[in-house]
């Protein structure tokens, strides 16, 4: 397979972008800790009696119709006997960092887009994308015992869709472990038969509007006059026309600016039990701390959100003198805010957020005292 750009200098290589997606990542980590889960229908997420949702599910569960973001109660109806496990975010973050270290060994051009996904730019005039992807897949399997699927193409858009297509074509009781390669010049042909909602930026509303125009596949979108797409969809219309042809010149970005991290939970029943509320608050703070550690960030603004049974919402925040990524420090600040807001009322939702993030944490002093900035909002 030649990856040189047709019509260009022979020494100018076409980009080789790999998209990596860890197969059912949370479940794969759980199987590492408990091999007896292998081949069984199980899900990671919240308890059904607490309005929990599915964060991840095994492939045997997926074959029963279970999917991520589904209410856990519905998942259990679809898959009787479904094993439900609580999420262990700190462990998933630890394993994710091990995966990303392997990617950085291969190239410094790594863009992590989630805990279990990343893009790599491995452009090299003498390298074969399939061989690189196969070697990387084998390394992650042999060193970390984790399955993954990969897409290889000349740009991020097509590489990501290639991964999705490969995984969809390998549905079974086991992880897909797919590698899908789209050769240079074949991008438009690869995309043409796929549904329009496979494209980035095409959500339900846009897909519905396109269907009204008689456009249901990416090929039909590519054939539609770009000027009409711009007239109907504005700037997004130009992006639709370009992406439908498999064109995407965005680079692999090696760093992102994260403005805040947050976690919240909606209780199965409105509760005024102080023990339940404080335990939940501590769990939320620990989850936020795990996400901060995963991203190598610290924050100095701690925000607490409480929603009452009438759906009105109160939020308050406090600013620490120095950033922190430690759960005890976050819990201490959030608890002070909770004591200021809560006076025994029933609570529907509880949330914690961390803002004013920095990448170079300083040592937090236990003698520091926060200064509060209170805000009060009401939501329908």
Put the strands of the sheet holding 261-271 in their side by side order: 261-271, 347-358, 298-307, 313-324, 371-376
What is the mean pLDDT of the segment spanning 19-24?
Answer: 96
Structure tokens at 278: 């404080």
Determine the pLDDT at residue 173. 67
Determine the pLDDT at residue 207. 92
Backbone angles phi, psi at 325, to 5 degrees: -125, 15
Give the helix ranges, DSSP H, for the chain: 25-33, 59-62, 72-78, 89-106, 129-144, 156-168, 187-191, 204-212, 218-223, 226-233, 235-244, 274-294, 327-341
What is the mean pLDDT of the segment spanning 237-243?
Answer: 94
Determine the pLDDT at residue 265. 85
Give the CATH number of domain 190-244: 1.10.150.20
Find the Cα–Cα–Cα–Cα dihedral 152, 155, 156, 157, rounded to 10°.
-100
What is the mean pLDDT of the segment spanning 271-292?
Answer: 89
Neighbours of 42 (CB within 10 A): 23
Q: Please, are residues 158 and 191 in contact by the beta-carbon 8 Å criterion?
A: yes
Q: Please, are residues 161 and 112 in contact by the beta-carbon 8 Å criterion?
A: no
Active site residue 294: no
| One-character DSSP codes across 219-252 | HHHHHS-HHHHHHHHTHHHHHHHHHHTT---PPP
Any idea where the domains of the chain sit in the sequence? Answer: 20-150+168-175, 190-244, 261-376
Q: Please, are residues 44 and 58 in contact by the beta-carbon 8 Å criterion?
A: no
* Per-residue b or e along 186-220, where b marks 16 or more CB atoms closer than 10 Å to that residue's CB: ebeebbbebebbbbeebeeebbeebeeeebebbbe
For 250, counting Cβ atoms within 10 Å of its Cβ (0-12 exposed, 13-18 middle, 19+ buried), the class is exposed
Instruction: Tell me the CA end-to-end span of the chain in Å, nearest whole number.
Output: 57
pTM of the model as a whole: 0.71
Helix, strand, coil % (nearest 5) of the chain? Answer: 40, 25, 35
pLDDT category at 362 given cuts 50, 70, 90 is: very low
Could you give the 3-state DSSP secondary structure of residue 362? coil
pLDDT, tens digit (0-9, with 9 covering 90-100), for 118-168: 999 999 988 899 999 999 999 999 999 999 999 999 999 999 999 999 999
Residues 169 and 176: their CA atoms lie apart, in Å, by 8
pLDDT category at 370 given cuts 50, 70, 90 is: very low
Determine the pLDDT at residue 367. 31
Determine the pLDDT at residue 55. 87
Determine the pLDDT at residue 11. 52
Catalytic residue from among 91, 117, 186, 220: 117
pLDDT, tens digit (0-9, with 9 covering 90-100), for 52-68: 788 899 999 999 999 98
Q: Please, are residues 82 and 45 in contact by the beta-carbon 8 Å criterion?
A: no
In words, the CATH class of domain 20-150+168-175 is: alpha beta
Nearest to 379 by CA among 316, 300, 304, 314: 314
pLDDT category at 84 given cuts 50, 70, 90 is: very high
Determine the pLDDT at residue 2. 38
pLDDT category at 115 given cuts 50, 70, 90 is: confident
Could you give the 3-state DSSP secondary structure of residue 144? helix
SS in 3 state form for 84-137?
Answer: EECCCHHHHHHHHHHHHHHHHHHCCCEEEEECCEEEEECCCCCCCHHHHHHHHH
What is the mean pLDDT of the segment spanning 34-61?
Answer: 90
The DSSP call for residue 5 is P
Question: Regarding the domain delimited by 261-376, which CATH topology (the fold level of the hierarchy) does it fall under?
Answer: Dna Ligase; domain 1 (3.30.1490)
Could you give the 3-state DSSP secondary structure of residue 55? strand
Cross-strand bridge partners of residue 250: none
């Amino acid at each position: 397979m030649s990856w040189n750009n047709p019509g260009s200098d022979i020494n100018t290589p076409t980009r080789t972008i790999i998209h990596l997606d860890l197969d059912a990542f949370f479940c794969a980590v759980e199987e590492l800790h408990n091999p007896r889960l292998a081949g069984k229908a199980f899900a990671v997420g919240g308890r059904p009696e607490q309005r929990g949702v599915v964060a991840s599910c095994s492939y045997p569960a997926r074959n029963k119709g279970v999917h991520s973001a589904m209410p856990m109660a519905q998942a259990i109806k679809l898959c009787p006997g479904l094993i439900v496990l609580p999420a262990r975010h700190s462990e998933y973050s630890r394993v994710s960092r091990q995966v990303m270290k392997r990617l950085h060994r291969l190239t410094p051009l790594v863009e992590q887009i989630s805990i279990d996904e990343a893009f790599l730019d491995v452009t090299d005039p003498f390298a074969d994308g399939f061989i690189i992807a196969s070697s990387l897949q084998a390394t992650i399997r042999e060193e970390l015992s984790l399955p993954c699927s990969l897409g290889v193409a000349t740009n991020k858009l097509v590489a990501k869709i290639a991964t999705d297509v490969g995984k969809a074509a390998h549905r079974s009781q086991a992880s897909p472990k797919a590698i899908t390669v789209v050769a240079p010049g074949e991008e438009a042909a690869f995309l043409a038969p796929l549904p329009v909602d496979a494209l980035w930026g095409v959500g339900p509303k846009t897909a519905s509007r396109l269907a009204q125009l008689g456009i249901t596949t990416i090929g039909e979108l590519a054939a539609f006059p770009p000027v009409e797409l711009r007239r109907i969809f504005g700037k997004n219309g130009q992006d639709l026309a370009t992406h439908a042809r498999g064109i995407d010149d965005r680079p692999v970005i090696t760093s992102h600016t994260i403005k805040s991290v947050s976690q919240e939970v909606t209780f199965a029943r409105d509760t005024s039990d102080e023990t339940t509320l404080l335990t939940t608050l501590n769990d939320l703070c620990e989850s936020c701390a795990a996400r901060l550690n995963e991203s190598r960030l610290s924050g100095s603004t701690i925000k607490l959100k409480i929603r009452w049974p009438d759906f009105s919402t109160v939020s308050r925040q406090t600013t620490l003198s120095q950033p922190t990524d430690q759960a005890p420090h976050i819990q201490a600040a959030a608890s002070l805010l909770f004591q200021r807001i809560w006076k025994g009322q029933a609570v529907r939702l509880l949330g914690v957020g961390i803002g004013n993030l920095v990448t170079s944490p300083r040592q937090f002093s236990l003698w520091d005292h926060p200064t509060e900035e209170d805000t009060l909002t009401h939501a329908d």
